[in-house]
Structure 1
Amino acid sequence: MLAGLGGIWLFGGGSIPDLLAASHPSAARPGAAGAKAADADRSDAHGSDAHGSGADKSSRGEGTAGAPVPEAIPNELRDLLGSNDPGEAVRGLAALRSLAFRSGNLRLLEEVNVPASDAAAADTRIAARLAAAGHILSGFETTLTSVQAAPGGADRAVVAVSAVSSPYQERDAAGAVVAQAPAGEEVRLRLVLASVDGRWRIAQILAADTASG
Structure 2
Amino acid sequence: MAKSTRAPWERSNPRKRAGKSSKHLSPAQKSAAKARAHRAGRRYPNLVDNMRMAAKKKSSKKKSSKKTSKSKASKAKSTTSAKKTRKRNAKKAKSRKHRASAREKDPRGGLTAAGRKAFARKQGAHLRPGVTKPESEMTPQEMRRKGSWAVRFYGRAKLPPLVDGKGQPTRHALSAHAWGEPVPKTVAAARRIAAKGERLLARYRRAKVRA
- Please indicate, yes or no, whether the TM-score normalized by the shorter chain is above 0.5: no
Give the TM-score, by structure 1 length.
Answer: 0.20
Q: Bigger radius of gyration, 1 or 2?
A: 2
Report 1 or 2 for greater relative contact order, CA contacts < 8 Å, sequence distance ≥ 6: 1
Q: Which has the higher helix share?
A: 2
